[in-house]
Structure 1
Amino acid sequence: MVLPSDLTTLSTLAVFGVVYLGMFFGGLPRTGLDRSGVAVLGAIAMIAVQGWSVAEAAAAIDLPTIVLLFAFMLLSAQMRLGGFYGAVTLAVGRRAWPPAALMAALLALVAALSAVFSNDVVCLAVTPVVVRIAWRRGWDPVPWLVAVACAANIGSAATLIGNPQNMLIGSVLKLPFAAYSAQALPPVLLALVALWLWMVGVLRRTPPRAAPPVAALDDAPPFDRWQSAKGLLVAAALLAAFLFTRWPHEVVALVAAGVLLLSRRLHSAQFMGLVDWPLLLLFMGLFVVNAGLQRTGLAAQAVAWLQGHGIALGEPALLAGVGLALSNLVSNVPAVMLLLPHVEGVSAGVTLALASTYAGNLLLVGSIANLIVADLAARDGVRLDWRRHAAIGVPATLLSLLTWAAWAWLAGS
């Protein structure tokens, strides 16, 4: 049964409002629903309100984005099961370098890995190693952990495959991989340099900390040279295909994931167990919820009203500001989904990607990568609360934005 149009509009707005309140709170209070659960329940409610068939609801989901996400989750699973992330981080940590040099190497490593693989998975793999490196040298692990999270977020903005929101932006806007990176890489590199300079000052002001007995990395996969090499070869082939061919990214990535699944040593269940299914459900649910809002025409009317009053959402500074604010209100993926229908072109895509990704460094709850680092640190007895994160993350975010603005000014002059 289809509801009358006025009632349908009100019901649609109610569902949309509840879902995005859930995004803001990280779930619905007094229920067992997290963000993914809220998105799925919201999609079910939107299907009922709109009177859609299952096929009509499925048409609202951007399948290439989901396929691309899934494929890169399998690629990241390959690298994690091969013990690659932990091995390279430990190799850097064993160098007898002073803190500033070690911080530079660690930031460069984490950022580079995050640009090619998932920033969340990189943080998941390297955090326990970084804690142990800091303990062994008598350092407070917290600045090092916040630096890892910030570098992972910043580095992931360099490519269209570094994080989920970038994959979404690239897929929906049909952005060329090389053209995006050519615009995004310079401000990302400047942001990393600014982060390093800030962290050098933080380390100088941080007193030594007595280390507890250092546990071994018992739960970390052992380094497997063959599996790691296999993953790196597939990743290199993927990047080459993205840069030098016009083959559909999602198809190429899916074929690459299929190659990785053909393994005699690693069971497919191990791969599938490392896929972030809740994140995929979050994407699909939000696609359906946002499609319901778009169908009312209210979002388009609001944007048209703003443009009539001289406020163009496509203007870089405004888009960056709105993207930064929304990402800290409802998280970066939902924020990007809300803004994407109103932007177009490579420059706007880069602006939205950098703003939503840099926003993740502002607050502890700003990105999943931050929460992963805090959760894993707590298991090793390291307390990373929002205050200690903000003391480093807020200035790091402001420096990232300042270096980005300086680069945009120089590039435009």
Structure 2
Amino acid sequence: MVTEQIIAITIFLLVMLAIISEKVNRCVAALSGALLMILFNIIPMEVGLSHVDFNTIGVLIGMMLFVAVVKNSGLFEYIAIFTAKKSKGDPWKIMISFIIITALLSAVLDNVTTVLLIGPMTIVITSILELNPIPFLITQIIASNIGGTATLIGDPPNIMIGSAANLSFTDFLVNLGPVVVILLIVIIFCFKFIFKKNLIVDDAQKDNILNLDENKAIKDKPLLIKSIVIMVFILLGFSLHSIIQIDSSIVALAGATIMLFIGKQDIDEILASIEWSTILFFTGLFIIVGGLQEVGVINKLATALIGATEGHLVLTMLIVLWLSAIVSSFLDNIPFVATLIPLILTMQTQGVDVMPLWWAASLGACLGGNGTLIGASANIVLASVGQKHGHPITFKEYFKVGFPIMILSIIISTAYLLIIF
């Protein structure tokens, strides 16, 4: 390795250790790592900023603004109470309902948007039932990443792979939909075992739910109607953004701007609700990973992956799956998938049937995000929702659940790919 590569890897590992130890705020750790990348001339500032995925940043800011306005209408409280009453106040039924809702929405929306909508509802329900919301939030993180795997627009790596391989929405749904359904069923049973001690409430708390009137939760009916109308347009925009050639960030920011204009809320209060620490964390992390990419670390990793298999398709498929999953647990999956794509396309020009590799890359990158708290955007965003309401999800706490679930999901995906291909 050249000196720049050693320095870049060292900086990355130090940042990861700081985040895992939780002795340093993750935002401070990421920004410090990005600054070190620049100071050690691993990556110039201009190049570092070019690695920041401003589409992701735009979606985050847009949806945070939108959710902040909508929250004042009482919509989230209404849905939360309605769902809890339909579940008869049973925490396990509520958890299952939210897992399924999260997975379905993540298949047709951006994962970040989904968790920003589901998170506030979860906080409301668990506070009424006097339950710790962390188990609910962890299950929703995992469900969002699994659900997003099923479709072309569910997760950014799928959009990239679909574009490079000329795969349609239907292709993803047909090839990955079945394994996603299997994974959801399996993890629901796993969660029942893992969190059964956290899902106990007495009859009095259930009665508190059943006695609530969801209609009284609506604080501003005109704002509620406006919120639902704009939300429908945002959902359509996310679903069709690849067809109408408009970035998802533009859809999110447009929806937020319209809501700020017609919502007639206190703008300063809405702006103050944005989780700027989360935005800065992502910015720092993008620059750090960009540094690894610029000095060739990620490219070396991907090249070694292909070279180690000596062209054996099934072995290559399995290595792509597992390496993508492990790497995507600790790194942003976008640059890694961006590095894999040209290598797979090169194999295609050599007459190799690379279709199994595309599905392996998708499953590995998307499901791998469940491995750690920093593995995917949805993880960080939902963790910040919990922290904002006094229930922070620690790296270790999530890792104990997320990493084993991720490994199990990749084992199931391995069996699925071997059966299909």
Instruction: State the TM-score, normalized to the length of structure 1.
Output: 0.70
Which stretches in structure 1 are left out of the alignment for 5+ residues?
1-5
Whether 1:324 and 2:325 are equivalent positions in the alignment is: yes
Task: Identify if the C-alpha distance between structure 1 residues 198 and 128 changes in structure 2 by more than 3 Å, giving closer, same or farther.
Answer: same
Say if 1:78 and 1:260, in contact at 8 Å, map to a contact too.
yes
Task: Identify if the C-alpha distance between structure 1 residues 302 and 127 changes in structure 2 by more than 3 Å, giving closer, same or farther.
Answer: closer
Say if 1:21 and 1:28, in contact at 8 Å, map to a contact too.
no
- In structure 2, how many angstroms separate the alpha carbons of the residues matched to 1:129 and 1:241? 31
From 335, 340, 343, the equivalent of 1:342 is 340
Say if 2:150 and 2:172, in contact at 8 Å, map to a contact too.
yes
Say if 2:80 and 2:121, in contact at 8 Å, map to a contact too.
yes
SS in structure 2 at match of 1:50? coil
Give runs of aligned pairs for residues 154-169 of structure 1, distance below 5 A. 154-158=146-150, 166-167=155-156
Paired residue for 2:238? Answer: 239
Q: Report the CA distance between 1:91 and its aligned residue.
A: 0.8
Paired residue for 2:159? Answer: 170
Paired residue for 2:262? Answer: 263
SS in structure 2 at match of 1:61? coil
From 16, 37, 40, the equivalent of 1:23 is 16
Paired residue for 1:94? Answer: 85
Paired residue for 1:3? Answer: none
Task: Identify if the C-alpha distance between structure 1 residues 285 and 142 changes in structure 2 by more than 3 Å, giving closer, same or farther.
Answer: closer
- In structure 1, how many angstroms separate the alpha carbons of the residues matched to 2:128 and 2:170? 38
Paired residue for 1:111? Answer: 103
Paired residue for 1:401? Answer: 410
In structure 2, give the amino acid aligned to 1:20: L
Q: Report the CA distance between 1:289 and its aligned residue.
A: 3.2
In structure 1, give the amino acid aligned to 2:380: I
Paired residue for 2:122? Answer: 127
- In structure 2, how many angstroms separate the alpha carbons of the residues matched to 1:256 and 1:221? 21
Task: Name which of structure 1's ranges 16-25 and 394-403 shifts more when overlaid on structure 2.
Answer: 394-403
Instruction: State the TM-score, normalized to the length of structure 2.
Output: 0.69
Q: Report the CA distance between 1:395 and its aligned residue.
A: 6.3
Q: How many residues are paired up?
A: 389
Paired residue for 2:35? Answer: 44
- In structure 2, how many angstroms separate the alpha carbons of the residues matched to 1:29 and 1:379? 15
In structure 2, give the amino acid aligned to 1:358: L
SS in structure 1 at match of 2:80? helix
Say if 2:156 and 2:334, in contact at 8 Å, map to a contact too.
no
Which stretches in structure 2 are left out of the alignment for 5+ residues?
346-354
Deviations 1:83-122 (CA, angstroms, capped at 9, x unpaired): 4344323211102557775554332223334443525424
SS in structure 2 at match of 1:26? helix
Task: Identify if the C-alpha distance between structure 1 residues 339 and 312 changes in structure 2 by more than 3 Å, giving closer, same or farther.
Answer: farther
Deviations 1:239-276 (CA, angstroms, capped at 9, x unpaired): 34326433444444443443333234234434433434
Paired residue for 2:228? Answer: 229
In structure 1, give the amino acid aligned to 2:409: S
Say if 1:313 and 1:319, in contact at 8 Å, map to a contact too.
no
Report percent identity of matched pairs.
Answer: 19
Say if 2:66 and 2:256, in contact at 8 Å, map to a contact too.
yes
Paired residue for 1:187? Answer: 179
SS in structure 2 at match of 1:128? helix
Whether 1:61 and 2:62 are equivalent positions in the alignment is: no
Say if 1:123 and 1:149, in contact at 8 Å, map to a contact too.
no
Say if 1:149 and 1:369, in contact at 8 Å, map to a contact too.
no
Say if 2:103 and 2:143, in contact at 8 Å, map to a contact too.
yes
SS in structure 1 at match of 2:265? coil
